[in-house]
Amino acid sequence: MPFIEDSIPVNLRALDPNMSPRDLTLIVAATNSMGIGRSGTLPWTGLRNEMAYFARVTKRANAGVR
């Protein structure tokens, strides 16, 4: 399954000039038809590397955020 990285730039300062910038990381998992599961199961097997990446990314905090 290919890894797809897509970004949508949003200028939040245009909405509120006093808003401070923040980083946001999103992880999305879906099949090619945008599905995630069926009958209580996931469509992928052997996700050890992906689960390790997910754990590493979601457990970290930027300096000053903790």
Task: Please give the tally of structural domains in the chain.
Answer: 1
Chain centroid, CA 2 distance in Å: 15
What tokens were used for 1?
């399954």
Catalytic residues: 42, 50
Q: How confident is the model at residue 11 (pLDDT cuts 50, 70, 90)?
A: low
Which of 13, 31, 34, 25 minimizes the C-alpha distance to 56?
Answer: 25
pLDDT tens profile 22-33: 777 777 777 777
| Domain interval for residue 29 | 1-66
pLDDT for position 45: 73
**Backbone φ and ψ of 41, nearest 5°:** -125, 160
The rounded distance, in Å, linking the Cα atoms of 61 and 55 is 12
The rounded distance, in Å, linking the Cα atoms of 25 and 1 is 21
